[in-house]
Structure 1
Amino acid sequence: MADSTSSADPDVPAAETALADADPLYREGVVELLGVIAYGELSAFERLAEDAALAPSLRDKAELAQMANVELSHFLGLRDKLEALGIDPYEAMAPFEDTFSRFHAKTAPSDWLEGLVKAYVGDGLAADFYREIAAYLDVDIRSLVLDSLAGTGDSAFVVTRVREAIEADPRVAGRLALWGRRLMGEALSQAQLVAAEHDGLTAVLVGGADRVSGMDLAAIGRMFARMTENHAARMAELGLAS
């Protein structure tokens, strides 16, 4: 458990003060956001570790294992920060187990390449959504959230391997492009469900519970448009049409 007075993590005391002084619904939203991000990091670790077992070469296994290790490191750091804020990380994560189970059940990759694309664009979409919500948090809490999303492992490895596969067999591109579109649709659907099912997150987004600023319907539409644009850029980097 991290020490909330440690100089090695200067953002935690400020975040702790901001959260302690916040109205209850806003605090609920922050806890929900940190909980869903923590669960996402742990889920990403588990998925990448499973993908590593299916990798076609030792080099690929090592690369994916390294990516999984980064995700685990993110989870452990966020777990410690939640504890420093006086929050039980596992209680904060528990409400999102069904959410992630639904998403992964609908987006189970059929082969190793689809797993790579899911790791790259799926995790990117989730991070975009959490960053958008973080924009409406107090500065100290926002810093904590953004720090927990910083870095996703060696994404250059994924780009290289997908582009190599397309070069070896151009027919792969069409299949993976369709897969990327499916991931996009499911990710946006799950993001909307997460916001709708958790009152605190909704309050943060729309400025509820006496928060000064928030999103109106037009702003929410622009948020999803930005997420779509970012997805298209990631697909292009992979050499795939969006």
Structure 2
Amino acid sequence: MNPGPSDNPAVTDLLGLLAYAELGSFFRLADDAALAPTLRDKGRLASLAAEEESRYERLRERLLERGTDPEEAMAPFVAPLDAWHARTEPQSWVESLVKTYVGDGIAGDFYRKVAELADAGTSELVEAVLVEEGRGALISEVVRAAVEEDPALAGRLSLWARRLVGEALSQAQQVAMARPRLAALLAEGRADDDAGGSAEDGAGIGDLASVTRLFGSIADRHAERLEAMGLSD
């Protein structure tokens, strides 16, 4: 018998993946706060970092409620997410902010779509954790101001954002290979929409194709983020 939505091991994977992602976001925003050029920006970014830590704690508590050790749930995703961050090391403070908004935003869109296939409680928690209005508004304001002060930044940051999208897709594929049951959940959810779509044992071609198509479906939000920062694709 297949597990129900509330005890599906793929849901544990999703929560573990998101928990580690939020923990990483906390540390990066804390670093960005320390490097911010003004006290105002330091304070605002520090507040965002505190919000990320709070979201991590909510996910950790949910894993404990499911009878899962949070560290064990996060462990399979340490290598692929750390590799993503190593490949996308920012060269400046502003690039770091763009990465937080674009890179984490694209990943968040992916997590949100996968969560729609989980139980209602998990879906609601993930939606709450991934709210980005405050973070997006702040980063957009700071990046737009930087571009207005130095228009030459616009082209470089636009190229950087484009690279982040490609790396985000690569990251998702690595996650699918690291934890195939998570990719299989996505493939099952899309089976009705994709002719011949089916879940496979392991991270099969069908599962990875579902990940690729999903990223294609969230391109509109990426364009909105670029526009908010005064950049173009």
Shorter-chain-normalised TM-score: which range? Answer: 0.7 to 0.9
For 2:215, the equivalent position in structure 1 comes to: 224
Aligned residues: CA RMSD:
2.2
The Cα of 1:155 is off from its aligned counterpart by 2.1
Q: Does 1:31 align with 2:21?
A: no
Q: Name the stretch that deviates more: 186-195 or 214-223.
A: 214-223
Change (3 A) 1:114 1:222: same
For 1:157, the equivalent position in structure 2 comes to: 138
Identical pairs, percent: 47
- Residues 53-92 of structure 1 mapped to structure 2, 5 A cutoff: 53-92=34-73
Contact residue 120 and residue 158 of structure 1 kept, 8 A: yes
Q: For the residues of structure 1 that align with 2:215 and 2:109, how far apart are their CA atoms?
A: 10
The Cα of 1:145 is off from its aligned counterpart by 2.6
Change (3 A) 1:219 1:206: closer
For 2:86, the equivalent position in structure 1 comes to: 105
Q: Does 1:19 align with 2:6?
A: yes
The Cα of 1:123 is off from its aligned counterpart by 1.1
For 1:200, the equivalent position in structure 2 comes to: 181
Classify the secondary structure of the residue corresponding to 2:182.
helix
For 1:180, the equivalent position in structure 2 comes to: 161
Residue among 108, 111, 123 paired with 1:130: 111
Change (3 A) 1:67 1:237: same
Change (3 A) 1:186 1:163: same
Q: Give unpaired runs (5+ residues) of structure 2.
A: 198-205
The Cα of 1:52 is off from its aligned counterpart by 1.1
User: Of the two structures, which has the highest relative contact order with CA contacts closer than 8 Å and spacing of 6 or more?
Assistant: 1
Contact residue 187 and residue 210 of structure 2 kept, 8 A: no
Q: For the residues of structure 2 that align with 1:74 and 1:152, how far apart are their CA atoms?
A: 14
Q: Name the stretch that deviates more: 189-198 or 115-124.
A: 189-198
Contact residue 52 and residue 61 of structure 1 kept, 8 A: yes
Q: For the residues of structure 1 that align with 2:28 and 2:85, how far apart are their CA atoms?
A: 9
Q: Name the stretch that deviates more: 152-161 or 69-78.
A: 152-161
Change (3 A) 1:37 1:206: same
Contact residue 176 and residue 182 of structure 2 kept, 8 A: yes
Classify the secondary structure of the residue corresponding to 2:90.
coil
- In the TM superposition, what whole-angstrom CA distance separates every residue of 1:95-131 from its partner, at most 9, and x where no partner exists? 1111111011111111110011011111111110011
Change (3 A) 1:196 1:213: farther
Q: Give unpaired runs (5+ residues) of structure 1.
A: 1-16, 21-26
Classify the secondary structure of the residue corresponding to 1:123.
helix
